[in-house]
Structure 1
């Protein structure tokens, strides 16, 4: 059941995140290209982040990194009012997944970007992974899928069913790719987990089903959601089921320069 709500808190009001909610923030880089906005973003970054920013030669890659890091700091600080966005300190686990150095609220978060979109997922006391990809229909997805996908996800029979249903192979590819990326990021191990050692069933359009191969993934109970946003971007969210076994609500939020919300889509999910 889909429930739409309008959310308009003050930018200065801390955001609470109950255990039964997952928050997913959508950031549009194109709406943050003014010089004054980029200057504020740069002032928010740490010295290490600004040093890394200077290493990029591509202007678009610079803006993507700058906005995504500033947005991450802004979003996380909304849940940790004791810390300013600039004062937050990040570290990474052994596989490169970002974490907070000081984390009394046990916040879990993850970030992904593609072209001019950034997605940030936030949860409390449970693992989360997100991925976003631009649906590039000019890309040679078949070659990549044949190498990385399980035969139960990518076959001539499945592709023919997609054609009959009016879907294209590019949408199947990027749906599966974002789901796989979201899961291995939630696991915290990245590409240390081979993408073809587990697979997804897409029979349920909005709530994919994971089929895990033996010994490839930890024995956790995962839930998934996927959406196409702004027409050309696939977004996938993987999150650990909460221990209370109560339904989880995913809330999608639009990030704007003032670091407040313009609105959100709220929909009930299973555990």
Structure 2
């Protein structure tokens, strides 16, 4: 049986740059956007987003959720246009079977979006699929059922015996999410079988359609936990603050 190989580790220190050359090569570029800094743009998004996108997100009942989705879609277009040197209005977004978005006429340009609370995180890569996930580590949320239902037995033991169980849970949860988004599976009812502990993890063959090995890196931003996943062929990861 061929098992998918996933190596997980943590990043302790990150330099968030403010200047980008917009040359991806074989890089994996991570961008973070602090939503409160850009709320004044909401009234001008109709110049860039399609009518379908505006209607879709304007129907959200929760205002903060609506704003996150609108700004995330705007910034993925804006930043992508700088990489591809095209008009941001020229992008036509389509969806894969698992609802993963992509640019219809730029199939080799890959991006992945995640947002939570006050932050949006977007990952970009040329040729290589990538996945990102950010979660606000809500101290009021009861995690017990999610720990039991979504974590492997080893992960459950690690989380419940940790001095910081909430942080350890979110580290493993964002790793699973970023990997599944990156390889194009989406969430699965067998998420317990996708172990993402530090070091090497073997994923069952029926859940690992990826031929090469993957790497996942985790880090914290204050009350947020972030994980980024990429094919091991990617050699350089760069971090940018919009």
TM-score between the two structures when normalised by the length of structure 1: 0.79
3-state SS in 1 of match to 2:31? strand
Task: State the match for 1:170 in structure 2.
Answer: 166
Contact 1:175 1:226 in 2 (8 A): yes
Q: Hey, what's the Cα distance between the residues in 2 that align with 1:65 and 1:44?
A: 14
2:83 corresponds to which of 79, 83, 86: 79
Q: Structure 2: which 5+ runs fail to align?
A: 1-10
Where do 4+ consecutive residues of structure 1 move more than 4 Å? 1-7
2:185 corresponds to which of 175, 184, 189: 189
Task: State the match for 1:8 in structure 2.
Answer: 19
3-state SS in 2 of match to 1:224? strand
Q: CA deviation at 1:103?
A: 1.0
Task: State the match for 1:93 in structure 2.
Answer: 96
Contact 2:16 2:241 in 1 (8 A): no
Task: State the match for 1:151 in structure 2.
Answer: 153
* Cα distance change on mapping 1:172 and 1:52 into 2, 3 Å: same
Q: CA deviation at 1:147?
A: 0.5
* Cα distance change on mapping 1:251 and 1:52 into 2, 3 Å: same
* Cα distance change on mapping 1:53 and 1:153 into 2, 3 Å: same
Q: Hey, what's the Cα distance between the residues in 2 that align with 1:62 and 1:7?
A: 26
1:17 corresponds to which of 19, 24, 28: 24
Which is further off, 53-62 or 145-154? 53-62
* Cα distance change on mapping 1:77 and 1:224 into 2, 3 Å: same
1:248 aligns with 2:239: no
Deviation by residue 1:135-176 (Cα, 9 ceiling, x = unmatched): 112211121110111111112x6532x22xxxx111011111
1:122 corresponds to which of 86, 108, 124: 124
TM-score between the two structures when normalised by the length of structure 2: 0.88
Contact 1:201 1:211 in 2 (8 A): no
3-state SS in 2 of match to 1:152? helix
Contact 2:159 2:166 in 1 (8 A): no
What is the Cα-based RMSD across aligned positions, in Å? 2.1
Q: Hey, what's the Cα distance between the residues in 2 that align with 1:67 and 1:5?
A: 20
Rg: which structure is higher? 1
